[in-house]
Copies of this chain bind each other. A is one copy, B any other.
Amino acid sequence: MALKLYGLPMSTCTTRVLACLHEKGVDFELVPVDLFSGEHKQPPFLSKNPFGQIPVLEDGDLTLFESRAITAYVAEKFKETGTDLIKHNNPKEAALVKVWVEVESQNFNSAISPIVFEHIVGPIMGKTADQAVIDANLEKLGKVLDVYESKLSITKYLAGDFYSLADLHHFPYTHYFMTTPWASLVNDRPHVKAWWEDISSRPAFKKIVGAMTFGEGK
Contacts and interface: CB of A to CB of B under 8 A. Distances in A.
Q: Which residue, A51, A66, A151, has most C-beta atoms of chain B within 10 A?
A: A66
A65 B151 CA distance: 14
Contact of A98 (B50, B51, B69): B69
A101 to B, nearest CB: 7
Interface in A67-89: 68-69, 72-73, 76-77
A125 interface: no
Contact of A73 (B64, B65, B98): B98
Given A62-B92, A92-B62, A105-B105, A99 B51 contact: no
B99 A69 contact: yes
A91 B64 CA distance: 12
Interface in A28-66: 50-51, 62, 64-66
A11 interface: no
A106 interface: yes
Contacts of A137: none
Contact of A103 (B51, B77, B94, B98): B51
Contacts of A51: 103, 107, 144, 147
Interface in A151-197: 151
A102 interface: yes
B66 A102 contact: yes
B73 A95 contact: yes
A68 B95 CA distance: 11
A66 B151 contact: no
A69 B50 contact: no
A98 B72 contact: yes
A122 to B, nearest CB: 16
A213 interface: no
A96 to B, nearest CB: 8
